[in-house]
Structure 1
Amino acid sequence: MILMARDKTKPLEKLRWSKAGLKLLDAAVRASPKDDMIRVLRGKACNKLPEKHFRRTATAIEDFAYLVDRKERNEVSFTDKEYSQLVYDLGDAYSRIGRNRDAIATLRKLDGMSIDPELRRLVTERLQSLAGKPEVEVVPQESGASSILLGIAAQATARALQTWAENQRKKEEEARRREEQRRKKRKKRRRR
């Protein structure tokens, strides 16, 4: 459902499909909290969603931290490539919500490991971008194109709902008026 949401063109459809997919993933984790594959799927899905609208980076961190911990205790068998990607994703998620100290500590786990050169470059860039930043900071919410589109869609939806509610009110008022007129006519007929 989340992958289908990615391909939708209308923002409200994207939102609806994403929320439905997240609801299923959350239910799957509740039903089987130790299933590593479900945790990977939910973590990666939550990590890709814009924090401003979904507030799911903390969920991604929970899942990635759980998986990294299990790998470090040899309770799960990820390849080195899979493990290094999970560690990078965890560090990246920490940095996106301003937990810079946690991001640095997590990304430094990859020092000395033989990892993909592209991932090594990303880790180096991320560590450089975190240098000199406070341990914890408030990260301003981005207002990219998708955020703007969702805002416009929300406003349009609100206007449509207000118009619909106003039209419904008018219809009910008109129906009450007609009913009142009918009652008056009936009363007149009864008096005669």
Structure 2
Amino acid sequence: MSAQSVHMKQFEEAKILHYKGVDGDKKAVIKANEMLLKLREAEPDNAQIEAYYGSTLVLLGRDAVKVLDRADKAEEGLDALNRAVSLDSNHKEIRLLRGNICLRLPESFFHCSETAIEDFTFLLDRYKENSGYLTPKQVREVLRNLAAAYQNAGKPDKADTVLQRIVEFERKKKG
């Protein structure tokens, strides 16, 4: 088996652990972070590995006891997610990860609602070009998240406009 296929297998395992961590499994976060750190060393320019590594750092911050550790890990994770987007700005999964994380971090401290807006808008623009780019479930989720990001950024009028898009989207899907 080639090193590349071994790395991909390990990456898939790390992603499974990552999502268990998203659901609250703290041990899975630690294991995923360790695996992704090694993969990152082996493939420093792999945007997906960088994105999931960044996400695990944010999760480690979420689970940290000390407030400063929380903030430091979250900042480090955001830096990795931004690097991942700079490595591959068109990657849907990376944009979903970064957008979701930026939406969930406290705006008063991290000021990243605009980044979430950028990512969700990017995804919806690609969907306009190709209706197969996102599933209907993903479209609804991205629209809801975009509305929430506008709300967090202090732009309630834009949030309301996006909420209207959700109603229109639902009507089109049923009609």
- After TM superposition, the score normalised by the length of structure 2 is 0.62
**In the alignment, is residue 33 of structure 1 matched against residue 97 of structure 2?**
no
What is the match of residue 108 of structure 1? 164
Structure 2 matches for 1:25-174, cutoff 5 A? 25-74=81-130, 77-114=133-170
Query: Which AA in structure 2 matches 1:70?
Result: R
Query: Which AA in structure 1 matches 2:153?
Result: I
The structure with the largest alpha-carbon Rg is 1
**Is the contact between residue 70 and residue 76 of structure 1 (CA under 8 Å) also seen in structure 2?**
no
Partner SS for 1:33:
coil
What is the match of residue 133 of structure 1? none
The Cα of 1:44 is off from its aligned counterpart by 0.5
The Cα of 1:77 is off from its aligned counterpart by 2.0
Q: Distance in 1 between matches of 2:168 and 2:131?
A: 22
**In the alignment, is residue 24 of structure 1 matched against residue 80 of structure 2?**
yes
What is the match of residue 46 of structure 2? none
Query: Which AA in structure 1 matches 2:151?
Result: S
Partner SS for 2:102:
helix
The Cα of 1:36 is off from its aligned counterpart by 1.1
Percent of paired sites with the same residue:
33
What is the match of residue 20 of structure 2? none
Q: Distance in 1 between matches of 2:59 and 2:124?
A: 25
The Cα of 1:100 is off from its aligned counterpart by 1.8
What is the match of residue 3 of structure 1? 59
**Is the contact between residue 65 and residue 90 of structure 1 (CA under 8 Å) also seen in structure 2?**
yes
Gap regions ≥5 residues in structure 1: 116-192
- Higher RCO (C-alpha under 8 Å, 6+ residues apart): 1
The Cα of 1:103 is off from its aligned counterpart by 1.0
The Cα of 1:104 is off from its aligned counterpart by 1.2
Higher helix share: 2
- After TM superposition, the score normalised by the length of structure 1 is 0.57
The Cα of 1:114 is off from its aligned counterpart by 3.8
- Deviations 1:16-68, CA, capped at 9 Å, x for gaps: 11111100000010111111111111100111000111111110110011111
